[in-house]
Amino acid sequence: MDFEDYRKHDAVGLAGLVSKGEVSPPELLETAVARMAQVDPKINAVTLDLTEWGRQDVKRHIWGGPLAGVPFLLKDLGAQLAGAPTSSGSAVFRDQLAPADSAITKAYKEAGLVIFGKTNTPEFGLMPVTESTLLGPCRNPWDVTRTPGGSSGGAAAAVAAGIVPAAHASDGGGSIRTPASACGLFGMKPSRGRVSFSPTGEGWGGASIQHAVTRSVRDSAVLLDIVCEPQPGDPYFIAKPERSFASEVERDPGKLAIGFTTAALASDGLDPECAAAVLDAARLCESLGHIVEEVTVPGDLAAMQRGAGDVIGASIAATLEAEGERRGRPVSESDVEFLTWATYQRGKQVSGANYVRGLAAIHAYGRAVAGLFERYDVVLMSTLGSPAIPVGHLTEDVRQYTQRLFAFMPNTQAFNNTGQPAMSVPLAWSKGGLPIGLQFVGRMGEEAGLFRLAGQLEKARPWFDRVAPL
C-alpha cells in the first residue's frame, strides 16, 4: 500500500481492509515505517523506534479484534510496554524497563493494534508544549517552527503527519485536547475513572486520564470502547456503557442545550481568531437545531488552581523521592529540568493538611461547575487561548512562564479537576493556516452524548481531508 492510499483511511477503515484481505498487517506496518522515516526527522514525534518489535508482532500474531493490523504508537508516559523503557520525558527514567504491560497496553494488543514506537513528551507531562531536554523539541506538521502542543505532542504530531491514524495519549491538564487543537485532530478527554491506570493507582489526584488523539471521531470512539474496561482495585470507576461508544457516533444527538463562552477562564482573553471561532461554532450548533446561549462558567478557579498545584507538586515530589530511594541517592537539581525542580520544591512543602485542603478546593470547584450542567447539556469554548505558539516561546523567559502558560491553555485544566469529559473538535483554521480546536464539555460520565454531537459536527463540517502540508 502506498502512502496516499494509506492516508485516505482512518484506523477503522484500515482494519476493514485487513479483514477483507485487501491489505496485510505487514504492508500497513511498512507503510507507516516508511512515512516515519520520511517525516520524523522534521518533527521529532517518535522518540523510541520499535519497528523490529512491530515486525515480530505481525509475524506471530493471529489477527482478530476491531483494529487488527493497524499500526499504533504509545506515548512515552503512562502506558507501560513490557521490556521497553518509559522515560516520561526525563533522564531520571530513561533506562528503566517496564516489567509488564499496563492494562491499556494489553487492551490495545488484544484489539489487534501493532505497536511500533513511543512518542515524544515533555518531562513528566508538566508542560503544554513538547520540548524536553532528553528527547528534544517536537514540531508541528502544520508549521515546523511551532509546537504541536503537549504533553501528548509527539502523538499528535505523528497523527497529523500521517504516520499513524491514531495514537495513545493522556491528559492531566489538557494534554490530549491541547495537541489535538494545535494539530487539527479530534481529542476526547474521558471522564475520571473511564480508563484504568492499572497496575498503578491514579494520576495527579484523579485529574489525569488516558485515551488517544485521532483524525476521525469514530476512531476515538472505537479506541475508548477498547480501553474502558474497569480493573480490580481502580480508585475511580465508571461502569462500561450498555451501548458502544462507536454506535453513538452515528446516532442523532437530539436537540441539545448548549452554553458557550468566549472567555479565557485562566487568562485575560482569547486570541481574536479563537474568539471568532467560538462564535462561528455556536452559530453552527444553532444551525443544527440546538439551543445556544452565552454563559459564564462559575466557581473559584484560582482556589482550584492553587489546590491542583499542591496536588501536582506533591505527586512529583513523591515520584522523585521514591526514585531517590530506589537508586540510593536523592534526585538532584541537575537530574531534572527547571520546571520539574520547581514543582518538586513546591511539592516538598505541601503538608498533609494542605493536600486535603487542595482536594477540597478542587471538589468545590467541581460542584460549582456541575450546577451549570443542570441547565445545559454541553458547554462550548475555545480549547486554547491561541493557535500553536512558536517552539521555545513558553520557556525562553522563566519570569513570564506562568503568564504564557495560561495564555496558551486557559480552558483545559478546569475539566480535568471537575472530572468531566471534554473534547477538542477541529472546526476552524486561522488566517495563517493553523488549526483551531473548539472544546465541548459534557456532564460527568456522558461521553456518549459528546460522541453523538461530534459525529454530527464531523458531517456538517468535515476535517478528515484537511492534511498538514508536511
Question: Active site residue: 151, 152, 170, 220, which one?
Answer: 151
Is residue 315 among the annotated active site residues?
A: no
Q: Which residue in 75, 106, 118, 189 is the catalytic one?
A: 75
Contact 262, 275 (CB under 8 A): yes
* 48 dihedral zone (left: phi>0; alpha: psi -120 to 50; beta): beta
d(CA 14, CA 85): 29
Burial label, 322 (beta-carbon count in 10 A; 0-12, 13-18, 19+): exposed
Q: Is 372:258 a contact under the CB 8 Å cutoff? A: no
Is residue 206 within 8 Å of residue 249, measured between CB atoms? no
Alpha helices in 260-351 (DSSP H): 272-287, 301-327, 338-348
Q: Is 75 a catalytic residue?
A: yes
Please report, for residues 257, 279, 402, 462, the alpha-carbon distance to residue 286 in angstroms, rounded to integers and kept in the order given.
10, 11, 36, 17
Name which of 194, 184, 107 is nearest 437 in CA terms: 184
Can you tell me the distance from the alpha carbon of 77 to that of 227, in angstroms, rounded to the nearest whole number?
17
Active-site residue (options: 90, 102, 175, 196) = 175
Nearest by Cα to 14 from 164, 143, 203: 164
Number of Cβ within 10 Å of residue 8's Cβ equals: 12
Residue 42 appears among annotated catalytic residues: no
Amino acid occupying residue 365: Y
Q: Which residues are catalytic?
A: 75, 151, 175
